[in-house]
């Protein structure tokens, strides 16, 4: 697996610092309020787990699976809900937790989708943002860091479902994905 990696873009230490900063801010902002994190699977899995462990106030969580991609790697510009949340959010403060915001399509769709359940508020927490790729404007309330438009994997992010288990954010060698991504 490591032989496919061109370079480490974001180290474990940088990720840990980022998660602690976001968790501290969320804990402060939602003190005394009912908070539910909704993680967007599968990419969020590791970030969500780290965030939960660093939040110091009572918090519930659920997950939702949405896909903007078909069988290939090119975005179809259409969102499908594959697994809905299994937790009540009506009247509660929701934070959608995403590993990556790219075009913004997924988060825009999910924000509207979850609002139909009448939560008290819906905010967005994203680990990594590729602002240069944005097509649908979205307000990110809690952002880890901006990253360049490079094909990254690790810390939950995949290429063809692989490399999610790399502990750091890595850039793959071009020959691994050449001609397969937009
Ligand atoms: C990725 C990522 C976001 C979405 C962002 O998910 O985890 O959910 O794409 O892209 P957008 O801003 O252009 O909508 P993906 O569909 O690859 O599924 P995964 O989380 O299972 O990897």
Tens of pLDDT, residue by residue over 138-170, are: 999 999 999 999 889 999 999 999 999 999 999
> Cα 163–164–165 angle (5° rounding)?
90
Strand order of the sheet with strand 93-101?
75-83, 60-69, 35-41, 93-101, 121-129, 142-146
Residue 78's pLDDT band (boundaries 50, 70, 90)?
Answer: confident
Q: Is the CB of 126 under 6 A from ligand 1?
A: no
Residue 71 reports pLDDT greater than 50: no
Determine the residue of 106, 149, 153, 156 to mutate for testing ligand 1's pocket, defined as the one with the most ligand atoms within 8 A of the Cβ atom: 106
Q: What are the structure tokens assigned to 64, written together? A: 């939702």
Q: Is the CB of 39 under 6 A from ligand 1?
A: no
What is the average per-residue pLDDT within 116-136?
96
Q: 87: buried, middle or exposed (CB in 10 Å: 19+, 13-18, 0-12)? A: middle
Distance 26 CA to ligand 1 centre (A): 23
Question: What does the longest C-alpha to C-alpha distance in the chain come to?
Answer: 50
Residues in the chain: 182
């Amino acid at each position: 697996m490591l032989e496919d990696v061109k370079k480490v873009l974001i180290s474990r230490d940088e990720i840990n610092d980022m998660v602690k900063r976001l968790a501290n801010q969320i804990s402060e902002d939602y003190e005394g309020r009912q908070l539910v994190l909704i993680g967007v699977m599968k990419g969020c899995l590791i970030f969500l787990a780290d965030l939960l462990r660093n939040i110091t106030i009572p918090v519930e969580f659920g997950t939702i699976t949405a896909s903007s991609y078909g069988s290939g790697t090119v975005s179809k510009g259409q969102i499908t809900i594959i697994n809905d949340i299994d937790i009540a959010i009506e009247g509660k403060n929701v934070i959608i937790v995403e590993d990556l915001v790219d075009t913004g399509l997924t988060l825009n769709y999910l924000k509207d989708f979850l609002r139909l359940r009448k939560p008290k508020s819906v905010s967005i927490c994203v680990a990594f943002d590729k602002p240069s790729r944005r097509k649908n404007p979205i307000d990110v309330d809690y952002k880890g860091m901006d990253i360049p438009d490079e094909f990254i994997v690790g810390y939950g992010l995949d290429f063809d479902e692989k490399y999610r288990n790399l502990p750091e954010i890595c850039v793959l060698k071009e020959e691994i994905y050449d001609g397969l991504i937009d």
